[in-house]
Structure 1
Amino acid sequence: MSLSALLFSLLIIGYCSASKCGSNCPSNKCPSCPCGTTTNFQDIATWCAKFSDWDQACCRCIVKEESNGNANAAYYNSAKLGFDVGLWQINEYWNWKTCSGGKAPCDPKINLECAKKVWREAGKSFRRWSTAAKCGCS
């Protein structure tokens, strides 16, 4: 195989693997795309402001760290724990059954309702989010 053919092959392989789920699965470890392959960037402050009970700065930081404002963002944890999806990266194993009827809460409105439920269940705190400490919100 010529060097140019090898480089072309590597380029194609890199493109194909990087394009799994579009930009919705930055880790590129998602076995499927629960929120599709098209990004859906939202204004983080607008969505956080839809619930006045939580600390707005913490909410904005967590959504920024979790999804960067992409309502279709997905992260695959493991076969047992499944996916985290949406603006607040709601976990499949722990939350989808109780907050979104077992379906991926990709819709920002549903994701918000799930996030509010998780926040309340955590004693009105963001401690259930892995990014809470980084944001100073644990």
Structure 2
Amino acid sequence: MHSFLVLFVLVGVAIADKCGSNCPSGKCPSCPCGSTRRMLDSATWCSKFTGWNQACCRCIVSKESGGNANAINYNGAKFGYDVGLWQINQYYNWRSCNRGNAPCDPNANLECAKQVWRAGGNSFKQWSTAKLCGC
């Protein structure tokens, strides 16, 4: 019985960790951005677009992905994944900004984030973390 419990726990850990630490909830059915973390400096990436408030951008990247360009979050079958530094949503944004592909590459994620920002009236209101960041 003890061996069965140990095996059950190990299998559970392996399943929960299949995306590495890229899927903090452990509920991602797949790993569109892979299983290796890719930590990037939010200030460097936010400064690649001067149209938005830099402090808000850094805060949003910090809250959304922690600076992990390969971060993913699964929102269920209808809304799919949020991916990358700015956690670009599959349901609302991938088709319009990255030809239907997960914008895991930081440059693609940045371009998508700029589109989302513009669609929000040149604001961060489309991000759920905007209010937490005072944006």
CA distance in 2 between partners of 1:101 and 1:126 (Å): 23
Compute the TM-score of the two structures, normalised by the length of structure 1.
Answer: 0.93
**Alignment-derived partner of residue 36 in structure 1:** 34
DSSP-derived class of the 2:75 partner: strand
> What percentage of aligned pairs have identical amino acids?
64
Deviation at 1:104, TM superposition (A): 0.1
Q: Give the alignment's Cα RMSD to 1 decimal.
A: 1.2
DSSP-derived class of the 2:134 partner: coil
Deviation track 1:81-134 (CA, whole Å, cap 9, x = no partner) reads 110000000000110011000000000000000000000110010000010111
**Alignment-derived partner of residue 135 in structure 1:** 133
Compute the TM-score of the two structures, normalised by the length of structure 2.
Answer: 0.95
1:56 paired residue among 39, 54, 66: 54
Letter in 1 for 2:69: A
Q: How many pairs align? A: 135
**Alignment-derived partner of residue 105 in structure 1:** 103
**Alignment-derived partner of residue 6 in structure 2:** 8
Residue segments in structure 2 that go unaligned for 5+ positions in a row: none
**Alignment-derived partner of residue 75 in structure 2:** 77
CA distance in 2 between partners of 1:60 and 1:128 (Å): 15
Letter in 2 for 1:122: G
Deviation at 1:78, TM superposition (A): 1.4
1:96 paired residue among 76, 80, 94: 94
Deviation at 1:9, TM superposition (A): 2.5
Runs of 4+ in 1 over 3 A off after TM superposition: none
**Alignment-derived partner of residue 46 in structure 1:** 44
